[in-house]
Amino acid sequence: MNISKLIFAGTIFVSTLAIAQKDELKALKKMYGKDQLKNDEITEYKSLVSKLEGGLAVEENDKIYTAFYKSMLPIVELSSMDPTTPPAVVQAKMAKAFNYNNLIELANGLNATLEYEKKTGKKVYTEDILETITNYKTEIVNVAIALANTKKYTEASKILYAAYKLEPKDVNNLYYAANYAVEAKDYDGALEYYSELKQLKYTGEGTTYLAKNNASGAVETFKDKVMRDKFVESGAYSNPTEEKIKSRRGEIVRNVALILIEKNKTEEAKTAIADARKEFPNDVTLIISEAEIYLKLNDIPMYQKLIKEALDKSPNDHLLIYNLGVTSAENKQYEEAEKYYRKVIDIKPDYVEAYINLADVILKPDQKIVDEMNKLGLSSKDQKRYEVLQVERKGLFNRVMPILEKANDLRPESEDIQTSLMAVYRFLELKEKIDALKAKMNK
């Protein structure tokens, strides 16, 4: 056996392979550079990628760019759509292109290329990648939101996580991915995402920029002040306002603890929130979260102790007190909830949500009363009891009426408030008020 001849033959083979690789990649680069590809070109594009994946791509450079071209295939296909394609068809193709597997591949392919070009100093596609992320990140998030709206929380969570991997600076996508994972009962996934948020020391604090859409009357959110102000200047929007986003740290720790409780890891749950309290002893949201955990564990004395601690630290924080009302109502502590909502109204008389929730907790006993009334018979004793219960119901509705009227004054455009108020008027047989509200609703 002539070893030198074998080595020489092998060298020729490798050289030929290297040339072939360059030819495949050159062809892909040329096709990728076009604004649009025809159907037969897209077919060829896929074929070239398959050949490279099949063994032609051996060196790191070739593997990186093969993965890049493959990951960009859904976007290449979207970019090659006929401009006259109906919007509904475009939306359907967008949803198909941005499925979870494609997005994960896109995130991995683009991030690997960015890292490689940073390492080598040769920015072949860096600018193009950054532009791609900017152009498509909103569409990707919209796909996730659409999935969540149809209760496909698992898919929504994974797509938002992929969006986060595409643009790690936008940590909010990771936060919402974790929340959707909770909705999907994917507790392991949620814990993984929350753990990453903790490592990043994410709080979510910031400012939300709002303005009223003059066409629809709805208040909409903008990603930043500059964009919001431009829309207001255009005349399409008005009433610009800003709202501070409070720390989400407490919510994250609470969710982690609740997940651990769900997984029968009560002590780990207590430890998780206690550790967070040690790190941020004055964070009121963490105090509330710890209180909610102890309420979940039915440790009422500890719950009450922590609630008192929270109120001592922030006695006039209407949002804190409102959230305490919500927590109490969720745990069927309706008298406590009523107390908190009334305190919110004392501090901030124009806080509509407090009126709405106050009306709701006051009317909580009504269903129980109605159920008892429905079980009564025609005996004299039952009829007397029926009359007593009817008086109790009227008492509830009379208590609620001024609260809903105030809510209606504060938010006259709300159909939900008007519908609730109309139900109260009808029960109390207040014809004049019914007619006046009808006239207002029909304007």
- Using one digit for the tens of pLDDT, what is the confidence trace for 381-432? 989 999 999 999 999 999 999 999 999 999 998 999 999 999 999 999 999 9
Task: Give the Cα separation of 197 and 280 in Å (integer).
Answer: 16
Length of the chain: 443
Quick one: pLDDT at residue 2?
Answer: 37
Tell me the mean pLDDT in the region 181-206: 92
C-alpha angle 306-312-317 in degrees, rounded to nearest 5? 100
pTM of structure = 0.61
Q: pLDDT-based confidence at 17, cuts 50/70/90? A: very low
| Euclidean distance between the first and the last CA atom of the chain, given in angstroms as a whole number | 99
Beta bridge partners of 211: 220
Tell me the mean pLDDT in the region 148-165: 90
Q: Are 92 and 51 in contact (CB under 8 A)?
A: no
Task: Kindly tell me the sign of the dihedral angle through the C-alpha atoms of 315, 316, 317, 323.
Answer: positive
Beta bridge partners of 243: 208
Tell me the mean pLDDT in the region 119-124: 91
For the record, the structure tokens of 364 come out as 């909580």
Quick one: pLDDT at residue 393?
Answer: 93
Quick one: pLDDT at residue 133?
Answer: 86
Tell me the mean pLDDT in the region 16-33: 72
Amino acid making up residue 402: P
- Minimum mean pLDDT range among 12-21, 103-112, 250-259, 392-401: 12-21
* 377 Cβ neighbours under 8 A, 6+ residues apart: none
Question: How many beta carbons lie within 10 A of that of residue 339, not counting itself?
Answer: 16
Quick one: pLDDT at residue 22?
Answer: 65
Quick one: pLDDT at residue 137?
Answer: 83
Q: Are 280 and 249 in contact (CB under 8 A)?
A: yes
For the record, the structure tokens of 92 come out as 């359907």
- Using one digit for the tens of pLDDT, what is the confidence trace for 289-333? 888 888 888 888 888 788 888 888 888 888 888 888 888 888 888
Task: Give the Cα separation of 431 and 190 in Å (integer).
Answer: 53
Quick one: pLDDT at residue 82?
Answer: 80
Residue with the bigger pLDDT between 97 and 48: it is 48
Tell me the mean pLDDT in the region 256-278: 87
Model confidence at 27: pLDDT above 80: yes
Residue with the bigger pLDDT between 269 and 83: it is 269
Quick one: pLDDT at residue 14?
Answer: 40
Model confidence at 21: pLDDT above 60: no
Tell me the mean pLDDT in the region 237-256: 86
For the record, the structure tokens of 419 come out as 């519908």
For the record, the structure tokens of 213 come out as 């859409």
Quick one: pLDDT at residue 19?
Answer: 43
Model confidence at 264: pLDDT above 70: yes
- Candidate ranges 56-60, 269-273, 343-347, 375-379; pick with highest mean pLDDT: 343-347
Quick one: pLDDT at residue 177?
Answer: 95
- Dihedral-angle region of residue 284 (phi above 0 means left; psi in -120 to 50 means alpha; beta otherwise): alpha
Q: Average per-residue pLDDT in the chain?
A: 86
Task: Please name the helix (run of DSSP H) or strand (run of DSSP E) that holds residue 222, with its range, or none.
Answer: strand 219-222
Quick one: pLDDT at residue 11?
Answer: 38
Quick one: pLDDT at residue 417?
Answer: 93
* 294 Cβ neighbours under 8 A, 6+ residues apart: 300, 302, 303, 306
Model confidence at 6: pLDDT above 60: no
